[in-house]
Amino acid sequence: MICLRALSSSPLHLPTLRRLNLNPSSSSASALRVAASAMSSYSSSPAVAAPIEHIVLIKVRPEAAASGAAAAMVSSLQALSALVPGLAYIHAGPVLRLRSPAAEALGPTHLLHSRYAAKEDLAAYATHPAHVAAVQGHVLPNALDTTAVDWVNAAPLPSPVAPGAAVRLTLAKVKEGVEVSQLVEKVAAATKAAGEARGAKVSFGENFSPARAKGYQFGMVAVFDSVEELDAVEGDGKVEEAKAEVRPLLDEVMVLDFVAGPAGEAPTSASL
């Protein structure tokens, strides 16, 4: 497993979100601390062998975090697990830690991670009335900014997410002249060489929804059993070698961590 932190050289899949012109504001550490104490929820499901990954980063308004509107937003999104056919997995909750300058600049406070067996299932989710209602009623009124990426998992094995799992999300932009497919191939080879470090499972691939991605072309999640296991991988020799193989292809990397857990068990935000 490799995490692409610090390698840079320098649904909600909604049509309405595509039409928005949401202007990001400056990052607020106090807002992030409040957001991290909001509700985090989890819906278990069978592992999808080659899932469609859907990630949405949400920067909520500080007043929404303070008033409880952000927690209500999370609840409305998590409720979709019982309402939308084809939704294999969903987690909505606060960001635990922003782990790169690009993440700090973007300033997401919450995220949604969902999985589907096929692109058709993701498309159906996007237009499902329950999803549209959750977005229009809870996300749009409370979001300062959103970023979304989708990819087809190119890893050979699934990466199931259990309650309490710690997940590192990496989004990347490649250097000029580099094809994203080259990065995917390099990550696949480097991950295989590094092995499943500390028991992590990964999913990665090329983003196929560029309109909402703010230029990010590649996404990866690395799933660990706990935050302690995620932290322990830092400095692992094989992982560092794998990073060195990938680094020359990258222009910008955004890294953050989150924890999937039942409602009421959200982690406390670490120093950002």
Which of the four pLDDT bands, split at 50, 70 and 90, describes residue 4? low
Q: Calculate mean pLDDT across residues 225-230.
A: 92
Which of the four pLDDT bands, split at 50, 70 and 90, describes residue 197? low
Contact by Cβ (8 Å): 142, 61: yes
Residue type for position 149: V
Which of the four pLDDT bands, split at 50, 70 and 90, describes residue 266? very low
Write the burial class of residue 201 (CB in 10 Å: 0-12 exposed, 13-18 middle, 19+ buried). buried
Q: Calculate mean pLDDT across residues 16-26.
A: 37
Q: Calculate mean pLDDT across residues 202-228.
A: 96
Residue 133: which H helix or E strand, with range? helix 129-134
Mean pLDDT of the chain: 82
Q: Calculate mean pLDDT across residues 224-251.
A: 88
Residue 216, SS3 per DSSP: coil
Q: Provide the edge-to-edge strand list for the sheet that holds 110-116.
A: 41-43, 89-94, 110-116, 52-60, 143-152
* Residue 60: C-alpha distances to residues 57, 186, 188 (Å): 10, 35, 34
Residue 128: both structure tokens together: 């499902």
**pLDDT at residue 164, rounded to an integer:** 93
pLDDT in tens, 77-106: 999 999 999 999 999 999 999 999 999 999
Contact by Cβ (8 Å): 62, 95: no
Strand partners for 166: 224, 259
Strand partners for 147: 57
**pLDDT at residue 156, rounded to an integer:** 86
**pLDDT at residue 148, rounded to an integer:** 98
Give the per-residue SS3 of 14-68.
Answer: CHHHHHCCCCCCCCCHHHHHHHHCCCCEEECCCCCCCCEEEEEEEEECHHHHHHC
pLDDT in tens, 104-142: 999 999 999 999 999 999 999 999 999 999 999 999 999
Write the burial class of residue 169 (CB in 10 Å: 0-12 exposed, 13-18 middle, 19+ buried). buried
**pLDDT at residue 198, rounded to an integer:** 57
Q: Is the pLDDT at 64 greater than 60, yes or no?
A: yes
DSSP state, residue 199: G
